[in-house]
Structure 1
Amino acid sequence: MSAPKTWSDYQLSFSKVSLICPIDVERVKTRWLEAFAPDLERRPKVLSPGVTFFTLTTLRSWPRMLTQSGTGSPPFIHPSQLWNSDYPPPLARCVNMAHMWANQVSGGEDIVRETVLREAQALFELDENSSSNDMGRLVTLQAYLLLCLMLLPSSPDEPMNMPQQVKINLQELTARSAKDGLLCHAEQSGSRPDHLSWILAEAKRRTLYAVYIFDDVVNTLNEMPCVLGDELGILPMTCSKMLWLGCSSQETWEEQYNANLAAGRHLRLEELWIHPADEKTRKRRERWLAAVDEFGLMIYAVASITQLH
């Protein structure tokens, strides 16, 4: 896909994309309630101290990626979203916030925190009153998530000082984005989607997975229960590193996607939760792991180590 000249052109190119939403978005929207009154039918899970430290430090690295050249973009933002001559306005402001956050001096933490909170609230209100298309709403969600990551403590030993409303708003934005669709029609039928539809669907799923990881970390740091996000189980797992980062044109992407299709249907998130796995599932996991990027490895590591009850 050639890079449009402006963000507006890029956003407009997604106006006719139509996706399917195969999940219950109400469970996404109200997930924060599970920390206070878990559904008895939901599977509890426990993040060990080691898993908590690993995920916390990884999450905090993503906004820092916006401030360092040569590090790429956070793993839920597709490279094409940042190819344009101007960044999407929500992400452009988020980059400014990330620089301020990454370079804060001792004694200035409260000022940075309040500035990030104000920007997050402004983004939420902007989305409420916006007529943006699906890509526009996704970018707002991505920027809001990055702001939330800046509010995390630098270690599990530090106090968790995040207003509950911030998490509620994040899950509201996530549900709105998910409601617009998470799956291409062609993905559902096992064929190759068009490039634009796939970019949007894959970026939305990755952002959704990142939100759920963030939610688990926040609950754990607050010593509140976590539950398995089984409403996401039927969704495809993250794509290969080559598809996400290595295809410089639509033609090379189509060739790589066709090769992936020839190897079999996509792995579903719920297949990571099968313990012990049967031989068929184990082989499907191994094929996926052989090609996946660092974000997929993170999801696999957390899913494999986390204790399910």
Structure 2
Amino acid sequence: MSAAHSTPGQFTTRKKACLKCSEAKARCSLQRPMCSRCQGRGLECHWFNPDSPDTNGASAVIDYAAVGESNTSFPASVLAVEELRYSSTPIEPSPTTLESARIGSRWMDALIPPPGRIAKTFTSQTIQYISRILKSYAKTIVKDDALPPIVHLFQPAAPRQLLVNCRTLLRMWENRAPGSESLVRETILREMNRLFEEHHNYDHITLLSACQAYLLYSMYMFFCTDPDTRAMIDTATMINLQELASAMSLTGLYPSGMQERPLPDWESWIVAEAKRRTLYIMYSFDHVFNYYHDTTSYIGTELGHLPLPAHKGLWAATTENSWKTEYERFTREWPSEAPRLEDLWPQEAEVVVKERRERADRWVESADEFGMFMFAMSNMIFGS
């Protein structure tokens, strides 16, 4: 039967074309996962699902398998890097591992205010600033040749597939066909649920990627979508996110040897630094979520002992030798201990205040954009 004389509800020959060719009313090669026209123009190639009949395209369903196959890579710069030796890189438990329980139970603070904890009320201007920064991080995952500042260029390849899936699904949302919002939304939520349900079986490196992906899904859907999708990031989502972050922290937040000050393995340093950055952003997102849900936020003092974000030379190093050079310079500048988050926090004792202010000033001199955001967050949390 021809397309012009199809009966209602019958999938027609024209619907075999991909979405881009259909929209442009152009001839499609019908080659999957990417047709020749889309490939030649560098376009995302999405497909109608032939099992979902529709005569006008308004409720067309995206073929998830085809989209996934046509867009399953990190930026080109990531694919070009060498694989590192992650199979033998230990991570040391945090010296306050028990604090991971506090990370996983932050959602309970509003129900049972913890004794000795400090509540924080944010202004709308502060929340707008934090939201803009977090939104930019979430948007970065769908861009070419870019990564959010919580994901390291050299994170291991196998667990990185979870982040590749994240990029693919969020790009599906950005390039969704009219009427497909519900399907794409449900597909993202299914993947988020899978990450949470399977996280007990992950090793510490895969758990890092799972937590990063879950956080990026949550922030993207909260900041970058429509009101219906944003509403799906609810308290249950935040509970799952905090449990993932707690499980991640239990596997260690320091690279092997870091606390004794020798040179750690580059691979384990990458994983530990990415874990801490992910944790810091999860707390920032938690403050924004609580604000919009009229829930009290509490200052995350359990993170105070953790190191401040590494400076740009360390985080952006692209070879082990260049990283070693930067790390040796870092240990010369900080011979006793690395700067910690609590160095940015106020203290009552005048001697401690002076010492920490000097440490904070030295750290700021080499902080990158992510570090400066953490500096701003500390000022907003402990400021008036």
Q: TM-score range by the shorter chain?
A: 0.7 to 0.9
Counterpart of 2:306? Answer: 235
The one-letter amino acid of 2:187's match is: T
What does residue range 1-309 of structure 1 map to in structure 2 within 5 Å?
Answer: 13-23=86-96, 24-70=99-145, 72-81=146-155, 88-103=160-175, 110-128=182-200, 130=201, 132-153=202-223, 161=231, 162-245=233-316, 247-264=317-334, 265-274=337-346, 278-307=353-382
Task: Tell me the TM-score normalised to structure 1 length.
Answer: 0.86
Contact 2:163-2:209 at 8 Å conserved across structures: yes
Change (3 A) 1:194 1:307: closer
- The offset of 1:40, in angstroms, is 2.9
**RCO (CA 8 Å, sep 6+): is it higher in 1 or 2?**
1
Change (3 A) 1:224 1:105: farther
Q: Secondary structure at the match of 1:37?
A: coil
- The offset of 1:5, in angstroms, is 8.8
Contact 2:343-2:356 at 8 Å conserved across structures: yes
Contact 2:89-2:268 at 8 Å conserved across structures: no
| Deviation by residue 1:82-114 (Cα, 9 ceiling, x = unmatched) | 7x5x88221111011221233457876555443
Change (3 A) 1:43 1:186: same
Q: Secondary structure at the match of 1:306?
A: helix
> Aligned partners of 1:258 and 1:166: how far apart in 2?
41
Contact 2:159-2:205 at 8 Å conserved across structures: no
Structure 1 unmatched ranges of 5 or more: none
> Aligned partners of 1:242 and 1:307: how far apart in 2?
28
**Which one has a bigger Cα radius of gyration?**
2
| Deviation by residue 1:1-24 (Cα, 9 ceiling, x = unmatched) | xx99999x65x6244413222231
Change (3 A) 1:222 1:160: farther
> Aligned partners of 2:230 and 2:339: how far apart in 1?
35
> Aligned partners of 2:278 and 2:368: how far apart in 1?
15
> Aligned partners of 2:228 and 2:374: how far apart in 1?
24
Change (3 A) 1:177 1:291: same
> Aligned partners of 2:347 and 2:87: how far apart in 1?
39
Task: Tell me the TM-score normalised to structure 2 length.
Answer: 0.70
Contact 2:162-2:209 at 8 Å conserved across structures: yes
> Aligned partners of 1:288 and 1:102: how far apart in 2?
38
**RMSD of aligned alpha carbons:** 2.8
Q: Percent identity?
A: 31
Q: Secondary structure at the match of 1:140?
A: helix
How many residue pairs align between the two structures? 298
> Aligned partners of 1:165 and 1:147: how far apart in 2?
14
The one-letter amino acid of 1:260's match is: F
Contact 2:130-2:288 at 8 Å conserved across structures: yes
Contact 2:91-2:254 at 8 Å conserved across structures: no
Q: Secondary structure at the match of 2:120?
A: strand
- The offset of 1:158, in angstroms, is 10
| Deviation by residue 1:104-132 (Cα, 9 ceiling, x = unmatched) | 5787655544332222101112223x2x3
The one-letter amino acid of 1:216's match is: H
Change (3 A) 1:195 1:159: closer
- The offset of 1:285, in angstroms, is 1.0
With 101-110 and 279-288 compared, the bigger mean Cα shift is at 101-110
> Aligned partners of 1:46 and 1:27: how far apart in 2?
20
> Aligned partners of 1:43 and 1:190: how far apart in 2?
33
> Aligned partners of 1:89 and 1:139: how far apart in 2?
8
With 95-104 and 162-171 compared, the bigger mean Cα shift is at 95-104
The one-letter amino acid of 1:88's match is: R
- The offset of 1:34, in angstroms, is 1.0
Change (3 A) 1:107 1:153: farther
Q: Secondary structure at the match of 1:255?
A: helix
- The offset of 1:160, in angstroms, is 5.9
> Aligned partners of 1:193 and 1:4: how far apart in 2?
25
With 269-278 and 288-297 compared, the bigger mean Cα shift is at 269-278
Contact 1:289-1:297 at 8 Å conserved across structures: yes
Q: Secondary structure at the match of 2:132?
A: helix
Change (3 A) 1:301 1:308: closer
